[in-house]
Amino acid sequence: MLKRIFLFYYNGFRTMTWGRSLWAIILIKLFIMFVILKVFFFPDILKRDFSSDEERGDHVLEQLTNPLNND
Amino acid sequence: MIESFDTSLVDWSRGQFALTAMFHWLFVPLTLGLSFIVAFMETIYVRTGDLEWKRITRFWMKVFGINFAIGVSTGIILEFEFGTNWSNYSWFVGDIFGAPLAIEGIMAFFMESTFIAIMFFGWNKVSKRFHLTATWLTAVGANLSAVWILVANAWMQDPVGTRFNPEMARNEMTSFWDVFLSETAVNKFMHTITSSFLLASVFVIAISAWFLLRNRHVLFAKRSTVIASVFGVIAAIATIFTGDTSARIIAREQPMKFAAMEALYEGQTHAPLVAIGAMRTDTTMVPNPREEFIFKIEIPNALSYMVFLTPSGFVSGINDLVYGNEEQGILPYQERIDRGAVAINTLKEMKRAKDRGDEAQFTAMKAKFEDPQWLEEYYKYFGYGYYKDQPVESLIPNVKLNFYAFHIMVILGGHFLILSIVALVLSMKNRWGDKKWLLWVALLTLPLPWIASQAGWVVAEVGRQPWVVYELMPTVAAVTKISPGAVQLTFWIFLVTFMALFIAEIKILTAQIKKGPEEK
């Protein structure tokens, strides 16, 4: 069964014609997204800068309330 | 409070998000609609055994595949942006957004790796019925995977089924079903998918018109038009119905957006609907009466009737909402701002008490966020508190943009309905293609469904400004304090990447369309 599924996908990819350029685009796109953009430009700020949910919550609470200067 | 936020950072972050979302939305509606059109075509092939229908199915399936491949995963970039540019927002909504997006990701993965693979690799390898089942499951799965992101978006427009945890500054889901089945969510999903079906129908009619104009693959083009026009007429009627319901929900839940859509400054009973109009000036600041239109054609009573199903219904105008209307029980924005500031100060006081270890004060402040009456009187207006010391007019969305986006969407929707009806009626008489000018109209209509669809999202998203979570979190408070330069850099990277992808899509798509269906 597993072999049949493997061969189904294998033969499908092998016999592709116009689909090859699409796969090239998909792979380039995924590379740009996950290897370049995500790693170098789009860190998860709260995950990167804080180690626990308590710290993250405290930081956001500070962000949401601190600028208010209307006591 | 607002002045402590960097507005250029907010503008760039918004611009980047809008760019990404609008690019993503070039592909999604065609995927949603074309998947069903292909499924109907293949059903006819399986039922009749007519090989012409197989050619038709395989051609449109190829177009579907190209669109899907170019568009797939462009939406993930939005999630990157949440974590980097909108971390306050991501944290604030955390549980509400996390669950639906995780379900969407899992569903999309399984759908793409199984059903779509069978669709493309399975011809002549699996039985006809098995292949057809995979095609239908792809269509249903694609549309269902859209549910989750739309539910999340609907919650931002109408935050229900949650409670605010003040200690963690986070909303927590109290009822999945309240979130999932809110009137806003259900209607948003229905309006989005029906309008996507309409977009795909017009796309098929337009491409088929091109073949007819060139007198190539005439049978293929005529049969494609029949399926697309039937689907288009049904989708157009459903889109009008869901759009009408949507307008009623917006009028009730987001009256400012509704007033901006119609540029209605002074609320009134027997309110007319502006069918077509051109606005004269910058209309963002009130007071700015309707006479500011250069011209307008109105349908008497229609707006009141649309919202209340009676012409005597009072439709709130921008001035009523900003300055209040005691007779109609509308609280002025200044009062909402004052109440919101109380809620923010309470949260601030709770945090200070916690920091200095004052357990009694901390407990007292925290308890307010569990008191239903206090929540209704103060926390409900939390987001308004950020506009303390700001002109109340800064809470008005861009009226001109909303007005035009809404009217462009509606007028184009009417055009698509008429086009679909004409194509269907003439196809039934086997006269579709006789009049060249009609084919040209159909072909030139090709880009318009995308304009209508994007305009719809402009109404939904610009119309609810300044809120990112309606009345609770303004956009300025949602943004992460990072360097605007970093956002600008990625904005331009995205613009270049998206342009390249878009050109690639158009190039591959036009090349495949020019080839036409496989030879017999």
Q: If contacts are CB pairs under 8 Å, which of residues 38-67 in chain A contact chain B?
A: 38, 41-47, 53-54, 56-58, 60-67
B87 domain residue, yes or no:
yes
B196 domain residue, yes or no:
yes
B450 domain residue, yes or no:
yes
Confidence of residue B6 (pLDDT cuts 50, 70, 90): low
Encode pLDDT of B417-427 as tens digits.
999 999 999 99
Confidence of residue B362 (pLDDT cuts 50, 70, 90): very high
Residues of A with Cβ-Cβ distance to B70 under 8 angstroms: 22, 25
> Which tokens belong to B257?
């957006």
Q: Which domain holds residue B51?
A: 2-258+395-511
Instruction: Domain count for chain B, please give it.
Output: 1
Cβ contacts from A onto B, under 8 A:
125
Q: Quote the percentage of chain B above a pLDDT of 70.
A: 95
The tally of CA atoms less than 13 A away on the side-chain side of residue B1 is 27
Encode pLDDT of B222-278 as tens digits.
999 999 999 999 999 999 999 999 999 999 999 999 999 999 999 999 999 999 988
B464 domain residue, yes or no:
yes
Contact call for B91 and A56, based on CB within 8 A: yes
If you average pLDDT over residues A44-53, what whole number do you get? 91
Of B2, B99, B34, give the one whose Cα is nearest residue B386. B2
Burial of B385 (0-12, 13-18, 19+ CB in 10 A): buried
| Residue of higher predicted confidence among B441 and A19 | B441
Query: What is the pairing mode between strands B467-469 and B473-474?
Result: antiparallel
Encode pLDDT of B330-349 as tens digits.
999 999 999 999 999 999 99
pTM for this model (two decimals): 0.92
If you average pLDDT over residues B287-309, what whole number do you get? 83
Residues 6+ apart with CB under 8 A from B85: B13, B16, B17, B479, B480, B482, B487
Encode pLDDT of B9-46 as tens digits.
899 999 999 999 999 999 999 999 999 999 999 999 99
Confidence of residue B194 (pLDDT cuts 50, 70, 90): very high
Asked if the model's pLDDT at residue B284 lies above 70, the reply is: no
Predicted confidence at residue B282, as pLDDT, reads 60
B439 domain residue, yes or no:
yes
Predicted confidence at residue A30, as pLDDT, reads 85
Give the minimum alpha-carbon distance from B255 to chain A in angstroms, rounded to a whole number: 26
Predicted confidence at residue B5, as pLDDT, reads 56
B99 domain residue, yes or no:
yes
Distance from C-alpha of B298 to C-alpha of B276, rounded to nearest angstrom: 7
- 3-state class percentages of chain B: helix first, strand second, coil last, to nearest 5: 75, 5, 20
Confidence of residue A70 (pLDDT cuts 50, 70, 90): very low
Predicted confidence at residue B288, as pLDDT, reads 57
Nearest by CB: B83 against A9, A45, A68 = A45
Residues of B with Cβ-Cβ distance to A37 under 8 angstroms: 77, 80, 490, 493
Query: What secondary structure letter does DSSP report for B316?
Result: P
B320 domain residue, yes or no:
no
Contact call for B73 and A70, based on CB within 8 A: no
B130 domain residue, yes or no:
yes
Asked if the model's pLDDT at residue B190 lies above 70, the reply is: yes
Averaged confidence pLDDT in chain A: 82
Encode pLDDT of B375-413 as tens digits.
999 999 999 999 998 888 889 999 999 999 999 999 999
Question: Angle B28-B30-B32 (CA atoms, 0-180°, nearest 5)?
Answer: 70
